[in-house]
Chains A and B, each alone.
Chain A
Amino acid sequence: QKEVEQDPGPLSVPEGAIVSLNCTYSNSAFQYFMWYRQYSRKGPELLMYTYSSGNKEDGRFTAQVDKSSKYISLFIRDSQPSDSATYLCAMSGANAGKSTFGDGTTLTVKP
């Protein structure tokens, strides 16, 4: 079993929809939780970074961490066609060293 499992998708939603992207993990040592967006043939781009349980909001994006359930989510409000990309969750231990990534969820937002 992988340390990080990500809902595989793909997801296709209409413009303006609320999108929920989810990952579960098994390693209780993970302390840092990240979401990356990756456009085709590009490197991943860090979207959100959280430390510990709770919510963090940045514009249309909200990252949620529930350590008791070992579950993290990324919510995208008022989704736009430009949000169409692959979203990767990632986690690392207390020293923020190497990160373990999910396999990614491909999102398509249709105009």
Chain B
Amino acid sequence: GAGVSQSPSNKVTEKGKDVELRCDPISGHTALYWYRQSLGQGLEFLIYFQGNSAPDKSGLPSDRFSAERTGGSVSTLTIQRTQQEDSAVYLCASRISGVGTDTQYFGPGTRLTVL
């Protein structure tokens, strides 16, 4: 069955370059989240999309980070002018809500290394 997919799985870039990370959520899931996870740390919330509502961007660490979700499905996280401290695993999750259920599914992540 199709789960959440992310691409690329690994990305190595040079400081100052822009990168785009892609997330394909599970079909029919109305909510989509981006998190990042540094080595040995928990997940840091970045941004949350819910249906057609304005996204919750409260976790984005700086204006170099942006995300969009096209057609309520695929999402792209863009990091401009990357810095070494941006190195982390970027995780995407999608969620479907219903009576008695609120299950969030994660993708495998994109491991970003900024040299």
Contacts and interface: CB of A to CB of B under 8 A. Distances in A.
B65 interface: no
Contacts of A101: 35, 42-45
Contacts of A96: 95, 97, 102
B106 A97 contact: no
A32 interface: yes
Given A42-B108, A43-B108, A98-B58, A6 B102 contact: no
Contact of B91 (A34, A43, A46, A102): A43
B50 interface: yes
B2 to A, nearest CB: 14
B25 interface: no
Contacts, number: 58
Interface in A27-58: 32, 34, 36, 41-46, 49, 51
B114 to A, nearest CB: 19
Contacts of B72: none
Contacts of B40: 103-104
Contacts of B20: none
A88 B91 CA distance: 14
B-side interface size class: 20 to 34
A80 interface: no
A96 to B, nearest CB: 5
Indicate the member of A4, A44, A102 with the most B CB atoms within 10 Å. Answer: A44
Given A44-B91, A96-B97, 13 more contacts: A36-B106, A42-B108, A43-B4, A43-B107, A43-B109, A46-B104, A51-B102, A96-B95, A96-B102, A97-B56, A99-B43, A101-B44, A104-B41
